[in-house]
Structure 1
Amino acid sequence: MGKIVGFEMSSQQPEKAIKFYSKVFGWEFSEPNWDYWGVSTDKGITDTGINGGISKGPSDYPHGTRIQIEVDSIDVTISKAKENGALVVREKMEFSDFFLAYLVDPTGIGFGLIQKK
């Protein structure tokens, strides 16, 4: 529990950001899904990079990078985080293989929580 499993970079110009990171770092991107482009940072090297994605930044997080932390129970972790001063900025969402929520810690740092199904 608590392992960093990914990142999400938010941009109002995701296509431009994808072009930049692809050319500078050689990152490989998938086709977009829900205005989200998955990225592979390890380019064939096993277990050396943390993968993530670039998305069209939402109004609650138009620019920046958030880590995604895997948890055993997203509901329990959200509750603990709120008890300790976190603010939920995007309630738990359900996807085909996982649940995802976005929070901000008491100092203003944004992060995501992921629970695999």
Structure 2
Amino acid sequence: MGRVIGFELNSQDPEKAAKFYSSVFGWEISAPNWDYREVTTGGEEKPGMNGGIGKGPNDYPYGTRIQIEVDSIDDAIANAKENGAMIVREKMEFDDFYLAYLVDPVGLGFGLIQNK
């Protein structure tokens, strides 16, 4: 089962967005790394999730995407395509995980993450 493990807030002014969410909700926002700022929304004593704020790429300049953790990103991509999803960004490799972006058949964007 794929579990939602995070969110991304995409903006063309991520610094302004980070200041807003930090000021309004008290979120802890890290320094940028590759135009992406990790966000901690609270402590582990309450349910919730953390995420990030980034400069939105050309294919997704504004908006919110959930990130879904899967056991096999290749299988999840293939299954999503068979069920009508469109790949926005093919599987990318990072130090600790793989990441891909897709759009479901009704136009909602989401990310798939497989930890290494």
Q: TM-score, normalised by structure 2?
A: 0.97
* Partner of residue 16, structure 1: 16
Q: CA-atom RMSD, angstroms? A: 0.9
**1:1-117 paired onto structure 2 within 5 Å:** 1-42=1-42, 44-117=43-116
Q: Percent identity?
A: 72
Corresponding letter in the other structure for 1:94: E
Corresponding letter in the other structure for 1:51: N
Structure 1: runs of 5 or more not aligned: none
Quote the offset at 1:31 in angstroms: 1.1
Structure 2: runs of 5 or more not aligned: none
In 2, Cα distance between equivalents of 1:6 and 1:45: 14
Quote the offset at 1:48 in angstroms: 2.2
In 2, Cα distance between equivalents of 1:54 and 1:63: 11
Corresponding letter in the other structure for 2:31: E
Corresponding letter in the other structure for 2:105: P
Aligned residues: 116
In 2, Cα distance between equivalents of 1:47 and 1:4: 16
In 1, Cα distance between equivalents of 2:94 and 2:46: 24
